[in-house]
């Protein structure tokens, strides 16, 4: 599995703001939006383009656009804070939704919503979720996408735990990972250490 860690100094500075427990909900959301911009920028680095003519005030120039705009899939709740910025950068993208919440005892994802196109054959999919902890939520999402024919999936995350990265690798699913940091590991509550806490709560308050 290809894993791209976006450790540009500006990305690391935004991640620092997100990690800081003193950052309030609005500050956290603003940093998440800006950092998503950088992750999507890197995720699309090798995306195929098509050329077309564009008329400038002076002459005809060759322009480009993405050949195959992706489906964006924010994983509710926390992924909602990434979708506005991602769709602003790729205005031709469409958006599907998956909702799940981890059970605090078992740490397994409990799905409560899915709204996805039926046929994803040939459609690149970007799954947006700030946190890749055990990997259970991302794997459940990827299973839904693969069942609809997706073969080109990019997990766009802010923080990953090594355990979640290994789970994605071992799954054999057609996925690559773009992430701002791979942290030390998980604690007994399956929270990422040092991490940034609960990414849903830090944006929206407690569930
Ligand atoms: O890799 P995992 O162990 O599955 O954990 C990661 C999941 O946990 C968080 O969501 P959470 O369940 O807290 O829901 P929320 O976004 O509503 O807060 C996070 O946004 C991921 O979806
Ligand atoms: O550290 C973690 C782990 C799962 N979900 C989060 O929001 N944070
Ligand atoms: Mg949460």
Q: Spell out the per-residue pLDDT of the chain, length 207, in tens.
A: 999 999 999 999 999 999 999 999 999 999 999 999 999 999 999 999 999 999 999 999 999 999 999 999 999 999 999 999 999 999 999 999 999 999 999 999 999 999 999 999 999 999 999 999 999 999 999 999 999 999 999 999 999 999 999 999 999 999 999 999 999 999 999 999 999 999 999 999 998
Report the alpha-carbon distance of residue 85 to residue 178 in Å, rounded.
16
The answer to whether the CB of 159 is under 6 A from ligand 1 is no
Report the alpha-carbon distance of residue 131 to residue 137 in Å, rounded.
9
What is the model's pLDDT at position 146?
Answer: 98
What is the model's pLDDT at position 75?
Answer: 98
What is the model's pLDDT at position 27?
Answer: 98
The token pair at 95 is 């958006």
Q: Is the peptide bond before 17 cis (omega within 30 degrees of 0)?
A: no
Query: Which one of the listed residues 19, 102, 129, 183 is annotated catalytic?
Result: 102
Closest CA to 3 of 185, 168, 142, 118: 168
> H-type helices in the chain, by residue range?
9-19, 25-43, 80-89, 136-147, 162-171, 199-204
Neighbours of ion ligand 3 (CB under 5 A): 198, 200
Number of helical H runs and strand E runs in the chain: 6, 13
134 is catalytic: no
The token pair at 59 is 């002459």
Closest CA to 100 of 144, 161, 148, 146: 144
102 is catalytic: yes
What is the model's pLDDT at position 59?
Answer: 98
The answer to whether the CB of 199 is under 6 A from ligand 2 is yes
Q: What is the DSSP letter of 2?
A: -
Q: Is the peptide bond before 77 cis (omega within 30 degrees of 0)?
A: yes
192-193 and 185-186 beta bridge pairing: antiparallel
What is the model's pLDDT at position 157?
Answer: 99
Report the alpha-carbon distance of residue 108 to residue 194 in Å, rounded.
21
Report the alpha-carbon distance of residue 201 to residue 188 in Å, rounded.
19
What is the model's pLDDT at position 1?
Answer: 96
What is the model's pLDDT at position 21?
Answer: 98
Among 198, 201, 206, name the best residue to mutate to test ligand 1's pocket (greatest count of ligand atoms within 8 A of Cβ): 198
pTM for the model stands at 0.98
What is the model's pLDDT at position 81?
Answer: 98
Q: Name the CA dihedral angle for 72, 9, 195, 154, rounded to a multiple of 10 degrees.
A: 20
Complete domains list, the chain, with CATH: 2-204 (3.40.50.2020)
Report the alpha-carbon distance of residue 141 to residue 154 in Å, rounded.
11
């Amino acid at each position: 599995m290809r894993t791209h860690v976006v450790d540009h100094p500006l990305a690391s500075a935004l991640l620092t703001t997100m990690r800081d427990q003193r950052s309030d909900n609005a500050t956290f959301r603003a940093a998440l939006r800006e950092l998503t911009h950088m992750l999507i920028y890197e995720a699309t680095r090798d995306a195929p383009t098509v050329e077309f003519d564009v008329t400038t005030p002076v002459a005809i120039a060759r322009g480009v656009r993405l050949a195959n705009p992706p489906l964006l899939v924010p994983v509710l709740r926390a992924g909602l804070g990434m979708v506005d910025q991602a769709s602003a950068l790729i205005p031709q993208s469409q958006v599907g939704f998956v909702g799940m919440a981890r059970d605090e005892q078992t740490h397994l994802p409990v799905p409560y919503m899915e709204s996805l196109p039926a046929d994803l054959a040939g459609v690149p999919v970007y799954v947006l979720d700030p946190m890749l902890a055990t990997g259970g939520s991302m794997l459940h999402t990827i299973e839904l996408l693969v069942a609809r024919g997706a073969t080109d999936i990019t997990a766009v995350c802010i923080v990953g735990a090594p355990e979640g990265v290994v789970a994605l690798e071992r799954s054999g699913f057609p996925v690559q990972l773009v992430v701002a940091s791979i942290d030390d590991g998980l604690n007994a509550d399956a929270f990422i250490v040092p991490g940034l806490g609960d990414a849903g709560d830090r944006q929206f308050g407690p569930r």
